[in-house]
Amino acid sequence: MTIHASRISRRRTAASAVLALAALVGGAAPTALAAPSTPVAPSAPAAPSAATAPDIPVANVKAHLTQFQSIASANGGNRAHGRPGYRASVDYLKAKLDAAGYTTTVQQFTTNGSVGYNLIADWPGGDADQVLMAGAHLDSVSSGPGINDNGSGSAAVLEAALAVSRAGYQPDKHLRFAWWGAEELGLVGSRYYVGNLSATERSKISGYLNFDMIGSPNPGYFVYDDDPVIEKTFKDYFAGIGVPTEIETEADGRSDHTSFKNAGIPVGGLFTGAGRTKTSAQAQKWGGTAGQAFDRCYHSSCDTTSNINDTALDRNSDALAHAVWALSSGGTTEPPTGDTYENTNDVAIPDNGGAVSSSLSITGRTGNAPSNLQVGVDIVHTWRGDLVVDLIAPDGSAYRLKNASGSDSADNVRETYTVDASSETANGTWQLRVQDTARYDTGYINSFKLTF
């Protein structure tokens, strides 16, 4: 008990140091804050094209869904256009974005006899003539709280925007995030927004990414069949994490990207399925239940926080952030830092318990692993001194990355370790093994990455 109390006070000290630093650098040099927590391979060149999206913590995305659920519950069970739950949803997002340094605009329009709102958030900086947009509709239908449709897309777009702020990301392009009103009444808000842009403003939007239903409880992984560059960016991301995708050929007219597409703007997006039935072939590759809808609660009162598949929400949120980063940094391709494999599934670490692991199965390489294998570790934890971390090679050999230590007094393990793995076969299953060796503080493996 005494030990724990002293830990808390030391942690407070560390937190106030960060706050002091934040006050010192202000908004001027946010990269100084991002540096210690961002795992960057040491060999990566400092070119802007090296920009890599951070992993999006799915717990943060879910916390926003919990808020949307509370908003609906307090306002007659929905967040529909013209109802108080819609405006409360806008206010929730706006407060977060304002606090993170965004320039926000609430755009009003009238439809169906009531006032609707779009929320637009601009990240200061970047080339004003090249605007990358990402958006989601924020309204629900009136029959339910709309947590998958479309709290999921709304929360993931918010969390990507907040990640941009946390990272102090300075993209080449200008970033603009948007939440649309009255989508469920016929894409009304997004049509109003695009219709109100001048021809010049429209021509500056280099792409629009749409996220409508990305946490379906019996999920599929669908990528809109649209702009080839955007489509490839999403497909490559999912291929990199070993998740098969299918092309969504019926997205036209179904969500807000249509308003942009009709104005000649390149569009793309992600979708985990609505009322259609999952086939047995789809259940084989994605898991879940064949013969059942992707979302049995689509447009129903049961579209609550229970109507979410966390893995789908996590993967799609990470894919969203990846696309925002990749499509806003130059026109250049990935830097030649080697091939990266990543597992972003969260693994809970039991308090003072047995070891747990996250694994990566590597195939198609020849020979041994390199002498400078880069091991990206992202563990969210309230006291990293409790943790012992090892890299386990396919043959079971262990490489100690970090020991437990009472003096290792900080949160989280976000590091890139270099391991001489030249005596190990590259192909096979590699594991990140983590054990919590002391009571009270807990956490989870957020991501495990290997760069060969």
Residues in contact with Ca ion by the rule CB under 5 A = 55, 58, 314, 344, 446
Show the beta-strand stretches assigned E in 149-288. 173-180, 205-211, 222-224, 246-248, 267-271
**What residue 205 binds from Ca ion, Zn ion, ligand TRP, none (CB within 5 to 8 A, per partner kind)?**
none
Could you give the CA distance from residue 88 to residue 79 in angstroms, rounded to a whole number? 8
Q: Which of 183, 231, 248, 342 is catalytic?
A: 183
Question: What does the DSSP 8-state code read for residue 386?
Answer: G
Let me know if 231 is a catalytic residue. no
d(CA 56, CA 34): 15
Check whether the bond before 150 is cis (ω within 30° of 0).
Answer: yes
Instruction: Give min distance, CB of 144 to Zn ion, in A.
Output: 10
Query: Sheet containing 387-392: which strands, arranged edge to edge?
Result: 356-362, 428-436, 387-392, 398-402
CA distances from 180 to 153, 154, 198 (A): 11, 9, 19
Q: What is the rounded radius of gyration, in angstroms, for the C-alpha atoms of the chain? A: 22
Compare residues 183 and 231 and give the one whose CB is closer to Zn ion: 183
- The residue sitting closest to Zn ion, measured at its beta carbon, is 149
Which of 255, 282, 309, 447 forms a contact with ligand TRP (CB under 6 A)?
255
The Cα–Cα gap between 56 and 163 comes to: 7
Q: How far is the CB of 171 from ligand TRP (least distance, A)?
A: 26
Q: Cβ closer to Ca ion: 89 or 446?
A: 446
Q: Which two tokens stand for residue 318?
A: 């990470």
Q: Least distance (Å) from ligand TRP to the CB of residue 65? A: 16
Least distance between Ca ion and beta carbon 446 (Å)? 5
Interacting positions 203-222 with ligand TRP (CB under 6 A)? 212-213
Q: Which residue, judged by CB position, is nearest to Ca ion in the bound state?
A: 344
The Cα 257–Cα 187 span in angstroms is 9
Q: What residues numbered 48-107 form the site for ligand TRP, per CB under 6 A?
A: none
- For residues 54 and 146, which CB has a smaller minimum distance to Zn ion in the complex? 146
CA–CA gap between residue 319 and residue 152 (Å, rounded): 13
Does position 295 interact with Zn ion (CB under 5 A)? The reply is no
Which partner in ligand TRP, Ca ion, Zn ion, none is near 274 (CB below 5 to 8 A by kind)? ligand TRP
344 touches, from Ca ion, ligand TRP, Zn ion, none (C-beta below 5 to 8 Å by class): Ca ion
Q: Using the rule CB under 6 A, which residue among 55, 122, 139, 149 binds ligand TRP?
A: 149
Pick 228 or 275: Cβ nearer Zn ion: 275
Cα–Cα distance for residue pair 407/11, rounded to 1 Å: 12
Q: How far is the CB of 208 from ligand TRP (least distance, A)?
A: 13
Interface with ligand TRP (CB under 6 A), residue total 10
Residues in the chain: 452
Residue 156, interface with ligand TRP (CB under 6 A)?
A: no
Q: Residue 303 interacts with Zn ion (CB under 5 A)?
A: no
Q: Choose, by CB under 6 A, the member of 230, 251, 265, 434 that binds ligand TRP.
A: 251
Site for Zn ion, residues 143 to 202, rule: CB under 5 A: 149
Compare residues 146 and 443 and give the one whose CB is closer to ligand TRP: 146
Alpha-carbon distance 389 to 379, whole Å?
Answer: 10
359: which residues sit within 8 A by CB, 6+ positions away? 343, 429, 430, 431, 432, 448
Q: Which is nearer to ligand TRP, 257 or 414 (CB)?
A: 257
Min CB(267)–ligand TRP separation in Å: 11
Q: Pick the closer one to Ca ion by CB: 401 or 445.
A: 445
Closest approach of Zn ion to the CB of residue 366, in Å: 48
Q: What share of the chain is helix, strand, coil (3-state, %, to 5)?
A: 35, 25, 40
Among 274, 369, 401, 445, binds ligand TRP (CB under 6 A): 274
Distance from chain centroid for Cα 319: 6
Q: How many Å apart are CA 222 and CA 451, to the nearest integer?
A: 27
If the CB atoms of residues 294 and 444 are measured against Ca ion, the closer one turns out to be 444
Least Å from the CB of residue 446 to ligand TRP: 28
Residues 6 or more apart whose Cβ sits within 8 Å of residue 3? none
Distances (CA, A) of 296 to 58, 273, 300: 22, 10, 8
Supply the residues annotated as catalytic. Answer: 183
Report the interface residues with ligand TRP, using CB under 6 A: 149, 212-213, 248, 250-251, 254-255, 271, 274
